[in-house]
Each structure stands twice: as structure tokens, then as C-alpha cells.
Structure 1
């Protein structure tokens, strides 16, 4: 497995994003919330992913962009935790909910915790 986050792995379709927010399931691990939905897509990688930081919680665009950049990096390094043992295709959206920027280690811990919650829920539903 390559530790990259290429163009084909990014969630960009407006229709898919709207469907994700309307029908998706949510998991929380402060400060990150994961919305996921089982959806067939063209990518060879089983997950398409997006990242967002609400303007309401982080006012300055500079800080929002940095948080998104760090979240993408944490996901890129740990995406094998999500994609191993997946047979279906999914779309993900990670939402940052804290008011201030947290350290890299805290975000990494939170994403790892969400990955275990996600896999447990998927295994339980199958």
C-alpha cells in the first residue's frame, strides 16, 4: 500500500457530499467527527475522503487551512487502519469541531480511535 493521498481518493462530487450529509452515519472522537456512507464509486481505493473545518469554530482561514492540512497528513499516514479488511466502497468526511488548533499527536490519536470505532461498527453490521 502506498502512503499517498491522490486525486482519485479525494471526495469532490457535490452530489456525493450532499448525499453523505443527508444519509451518512456519524462517529465522534473529540475533536473530530467522521461521517461515512457506503457508496459505490469509480476509484480503485475503497475510500474517498474529504476534510472540513467549520468557519463558525475557527474564524481565520489561515488556521482552518492548517488544520485541514494536518488532518490530511494524519489520515494519509494512517489510512491503512480504515482500508484494511474493507470489501465495500465508502465515502468519508472528517469534520474538525474544536475551537482552537490541537497538536498533531492529539489529532492522530483521535483519528486512530475513530478508525477502531468505524471498523467495529462495520463488522457488527455485517
Structure 2
């Protein structure tokens, strides 16, 4: 099992991000939301992911960056479970929709529930 989150798995393409928000589907498990789209990726990776925290609720960059680090770490730990069940490649955007600063245990539990919900949705639509 590879628990790393290398550079190739980070979603940075503006074109792909625009496609994600125009054509993508979403699932949510408060305070997290996952916007995803099935796509062919240029890199040889099963998933490219990005995280986002709105400036609207968290004015200080320090706070936003802390929440993003927590979300990336929770995703990194859940990724092997996700990758073994995927049949195609995806682009993910994780968005934090809460208004208060979370702790890691909350983010980790919600990330696990969110990814399980995503897998259930994808198994139904296949």
C-alpha cells in the first residue's frame, strides 16, 4: 500500500479544474464536499486531487492552510482504500464547507465517510 501523495497526483490543470466544476458531480458529508469527474489524465495515476477552503469564512491564510493540510493528510491515509476500488481515472476537488476550525479526528472521520459515499454512488452509476 502506497500512502504517499506525490506531485503527479495533485490537481493543478486549470482546464481540468474548469471541467470539474462545469461537468462534475458532487457528494457531501458535512463539513466536506467532493466534486469529481471521470476523465483521462495525462499522468499515469488513478486520481488527481486538490483541496480548497473558502476565504469567506476563514480570513487568515494560516487557518486556511491548516485546514488544507488536515484534509490532504486525511485523504492521503484513505487513498489506498479508494484506489483499489476505482475502475477509471478521476479528478477530485475537496472543499471544506464548515464555518469553524476542525480537528484532525473530525476531518479523518468525515473524509472516510465521504469517500465511502463516493464509492457507493459510483458503483450505482456503473
Fold similarity call, TM over 0.5: yes
* TM-score bracket relative to the smaller structure: over 0.9
Secondary structure of the 2:62 match is helix
TM-score by length of 1: 0.96
Q: Is 2:49 the counterpart of 1:52?
A: no
Deviation readout 1:64-89 (Å, 9 max, x if unpaired):
00100111111111112221121200
Stretches (4+) displaced over 4 A: none
On the 8 A contact 1:51/1:94 being kept in 2, the answer is yes
Residue matched to 1:96: 96
Secondary structure of the 1:28 match is strand
Q: Is 2:95 the counterpart of 1:112?
A: no
- How many residue pairs match? The answer is 126
Residue matched to 2:26: 26
Shift of 1:42: 2.1
Q: Is there any run of 5+ residues in structure 1 with no aligned partner, and where?
A: none
On the 8 A contact 1:81/1:115 being kept in 2, the answer is no
Q: Is there any run of 5+ residues in structure 2 with no aligned partner, and where?
A: none
What is the alpha-carbon distance in structure 1 between the residues aligned to residue 5 and residue 39 of structure 2?
A: 19
Decide which moves more: 41-50 or 9-18.
41-50
On the 8 A contact 1:81/1:112 being kept in 2, the answer is no
TM-score by length of 2: 0.96
Residue matched to 1:16: 16
